[in-house]
Structure 1
């Protein structure tokens, strides 16, 4: 055993090897030179040896005898439910370390902490040699396979935005993560998941290597993952520990695995950012119409994996009130760019599950997609599939960035590639109109904008004209609602939505139909427009749409006060 190792180091090693619990740290600098199991004979323990005992309780006389013999620590094999009583305080007074290990822990597992230091060093050297040779060229997939082989366990690599980018070993762990939708990069969607942290340590001659391990309990099974990197992880490594808990030797492998995977994910990120830059350039050229010939446009898109020869449908995913979000969070520029990259990665991840090929590019505070038809997704299925994508993206972003919301605009399918700039313009108009009318987290299509798009063009080209039309129609009713807390405008909107049916309006608003008629009469008195006349009714309907586009709609009062 040589000169042994410090008690503090021995304690950490034992915690990593057999999950020992330190009840009293003793004198950390004292050295442990060996182990011995309690026997009913004189001289069973020598100075510097740690005592291993299975006693039901540790009394003062026993602990004093160990301290007098020069014992640095006591290893108590017992159930974790058993109370240590006054033993920790007695041990502290005597300068003894007190460690509790599960009853039935084999002595060889405890001895391994002292006897296998040279073996750990050899394993570390082997891990370094096998994992670092050629590591600078490995992809995440190659690194995962090598790590799985060294550990003899299934592993899965998750990147910073929740993509399962690689796996090694059998596929059961990956299938479980996908089936339960578990990701280390975002809060778990499994209600019964509880998280707690534990550190495990491996002893090397030059000190300790520690690997942070987080444990999730899901449906009766323990899952372990390790962050790759420090403050802002480059990703996460999931490790299958179902059959056997992590041992000290495993931690050595994981220590080097973190560094190899961090490098591999970093190179993958650079590759993706370069590709995103190329995609962003193409998107900019496409939506501005500065792409040269259509043939050149198609070639550039095909190089990036998107066949636009049969046209495409445009989708825009936009961060709601991004300027206000940045002001509230006070993010610095690197964090802002990281946020945009994570959003682009999130949209790409969801799009890959629904479309075999597409063109995606980040631009300012949004992400733009062109979704072409394919054998799997024919032209007539594109709108429905785009709406499904919108819902998936919104749900995913809520899980990834809980305090951020996005709105989505969906254009019409354009069969001619030369009309793709118009496809983008339609998606942009649907996005802006939807956000004005529905507010944050809206999903809007160009087809459903109806007459809104005509009024929106007026707002863009001559906002004063739209203001005048609003003033001539419903502004007086809006001001009345704001002043008296009534619901004239809300009632008018419901009445028009229900095809001028008083009874259906009363049913929708849970109000007597006489009250509905009274409110509509007040609208006539204030605006000079009669809902019973078709021409006036059309003007009121357009006036309400102008009100919505201008953002002048009154909030509904908490209590009604019809006047």
Structure 2
């Protein structure tokens, strides 16, 4: 069959031979049939130049008009001979539609076989096998996509299982559209379910049928098509540009073999990445522990993995929030847990590539570690801001990829000396842990922000009982009072200290009268024995609040109740 379908008279002849169809209306002999669609209760089930197959009891005028309006050239009515067509033949003829009746006992595959020219499609299948499978074991996804595009005569884009567009060429309008609209088959897309269509496309060869699952999306004023690569959890997805030329039977044959080639190519790419991640993980473990030998050896190992750390780097840690609770809630088995970690690492790498070059990235436990070096595009004085931008990008991307998962990020200071990279990691880890304790999930914290928190955090790590004692001697009585009566003493104190001991600014921030602020501060003095009007006591109260936050003892925001 030619890429543009077959003439309607030839379709009628083939349908009569394959399915013993009765012709009730010849239709427009100048039309061509590109494919066959079986009626479904979803919008968009019929494409232009596709023949419609229906089991309706009656063919009314509105139904036939809707088919003609969709560009349908022919209708295949599956109805017993004793059922009268009524005025359907005359209505179809007036609309230029061909109408055929086929017995319901005829298998659907015989109807589909009317589009096959047998030997021609078999030759196409053999050519596709030869072009795509010979030597395919050595192809990258990009190389395989190039051959598939050439065979189809269409632009294609390959997406892997975590949403990276790994092939498709830079000058590719389809790829540009997917990037601009942030469309991925691997994650929730925002495409309205009523504007989606999933079904198999078939091609009949002399020795059997080939089928390919295809999903059609309507986005940005056009139709987009993609094919999953592999069953179950797909290895990836192949996007196909069908602008101005719907998929034909020949395309189905090429796509059938293309799925197998790309599934293998993506599988090999995944093995390569997992091996590389393992090597990166080993290097990161040695770097963090300071067991990497000489600095020269460290830099050589990093260069082997594509990372240039000769000018030092800034460290960042992307950590899954409350990972143990997440696993308990989802009840994931170990293979699924490892897949989740791999997808997170790939997501972080994808976003980091857009802002940094020559960086080192690797998974470790339930987090992803990055060492972000300076470059001509990212000089040292911009690393912190770029790391903060990366944090936001990663959090947004993870929300789209795994909607019920959140991550926090800790960012250290830039260390110019590669020998100080272990300290850069320690700073990022401290920023992460302090930020999570103070801000909660989805926090982003830098080491510079930690201030006196880092001193108290070291006390918490080395002598937690000392921090507990200091907390008890400062703000704990006010915390207990808030928890018992639902008042806002601690909230008021925090606001007062944050506003440089200004009663008026505190009252404005809390939408409360100044007299109420003074009353609460006096109540704090009575409970703690510390007076906010004395600088020494004020400093102790400020440290007490920070100790409270690190210990996780902060009371909830009070409801609007009267003070007691």
Q: Is the 8 A contact 2:56 2:77 kept in 1?
A: no
Q: Alignment partner for residue 15 of structure 1, among 31, 34, 37?
A: 37
Q: Please give the root-mean-square deviation of Cα atoms over the aligned residues, in Å.
A: 3.2
2 CA distance for matches of 1:7 and 1:277? 62
Matching of residues 205-224 of structure 1 within 5 Å: 205-224=206-225
Aligned in 2, Cα 1:284/1:90: closer, same or farther, shift over 3 Å? closer
Q: Is 1:435 paired with 2:430?
A: no
Gaps of 5+ in 2: 1-13, 22-32, 39-46, 70-74, 100-110
Deviation of 1:541 after TM superposition, in Å, equals: 0.4
Q: Alignment partner for residue 80 of structure 1, among 67, 73, 77?
A: 67
Tell me which residue corresponds to 2:10.
Answer: none
Tell me which residue corresponds to 2:301.
Answer: 300
Tell me which residue corresponds to 1:370.
Answer: 371
Aligned in 2, Cα 1:93/1:380: closer, same or farther, shift over 3 Å? same
Deviation of 1:469 after TM superposition, in Å, equals: 0.4
Q: Is 1:182 paired with 2:204?
A: no
Q: Secondary structure at the match of 2:536?
A: helix
2 CA distance for matches of 1:146 and 1:426? 48
Q: Secondary structure at the match of 2:375?
A: coil
Aligned in 2, Cα 1:120/1:490: closer, same or farther, shift over 3 Å? same
Q: How many residue pairs are counted as aligned between the two chains? A: 511
Q: Is the 8 A contact 1:155 1:169 kept in 2?
A: no
Deviation of 1:421 after TM superposition, in Å, equals: 0.4
2 CA distance for matches of 1:192 and 1:231? 21
Q: Secondary structure at the match of 2:520?
A: helix
Aligned in 2, Cα 1:193/1:174: closer, same or farther, shift over 3 Å? farther
Deviation of 1:409 after TM superposition, in Å, equals: 0.2
Q: Is the 8 A contact 2:113 2:204 kept in 1?
A: no
Tell me which residue corresponds to 1:29.
Answer: none
1 CA distance for matches of 2:298 and 2:217? 48
Deviation of 1:114 after TM superposition, in Å, equals: 4.8
2 CA distance for matches of 1:319 and 1:341? 12
Q: Is the 8 A contact 1:193 1:218 kept in 2?
A: no
Tell me which residue corresponds to 1:329.
Answer: 330
2 CA distance for matches of 1:101 and 1:254? 34
Matching of residues 95-494 of structure 1 within 5 Å: 113-114=114-115, 116-167=117-168, 171-188=172-189, 194-494=195-495
Aligned in 2, Cα 1:237/1:130: closer, same or farther, shift over 3 Å? same
Q: Secondary structure at the match of 2:326?
A: helix
Deviation string, structure 1 residues 281-333 (Cα, Å, up to 9, x no partner): 00000000010111100100011111111111000000000000000000000
2 CA distance for matches of 1:218 and 1:12? 23
Deviation string, structure 1 residues 406-450 (Cα, Å, up to 9, x no partner): 000000011111110000000000000000000000000000000
Q: Alignment partner for residue 91 of structure 1, among 68, 79, 82?
A: 79
Q: Alignment partner for residue 24 of structure 1, among 51, 55, 65?
A: 55
Greater CA deviation, 325-334 or 158-167? 158-167
2 CA distance for matches of 1:168 and 1:313? 32
Deviation string, structure 1 residues 6-65 (Cα, Å, up to 9, x no partner): 589xx9963289433332189xxxxxxxxxxxxxxxxxxxxxxxxxxxx9859xxxxxxx
Q: Is the 8 A contact 2:54 2:78 kept in 1?
A: no
Q: Alignment partner for residue 5 of structure 1, among 14, 18, 30?
A: 18
Greater CA deviation, 90-99 or 125-134? 90-99
Q: Is the 8 A contact 2:158 2:166 kept in 1?
A: yes
Deviation of 1:354 after TM superposition, in Å, equals: 0.3
Gaps of 5+ in 1: 27-54, 59-75
1 CA distance for matches of 2:50 and 2:467? 72
Deviation of 1:210 after TM superposition, in Å, equals: 1.8
TM-score after normalising by structure 1: 0.85
Deviation of 1:182 after TM superposition, in Å, equals: 1.5
Deviation of 1:202 after TM superposition, in Å, equals: 1.2
Deviation of 1:207 after TM superposition, in Å, equals: 3.2
TM-score after normalising by structure 2: 0.84
Q: Is the 8 A contact 1:13 1:113 kept in 2?
A: no
Aligned in 2, Cα 1:210/1:105: closer, same or farther, shift over 3 Å? farther
1 CA distance for matches of 2:452 and 2:64? 79
Q: Is the 8 A contact 1:226 1:237 kept in 2?
A: yes
Q: Is the 8 A contact 2:55 2:78 kept in 1?
A: no
Greater CA deviation, 91-100 or 360-369? 91-100
Deviation string, structure 1 residues 200-241 (Cα, Å, up to 9, x no partner): 211123433221111111121111111111111111111001
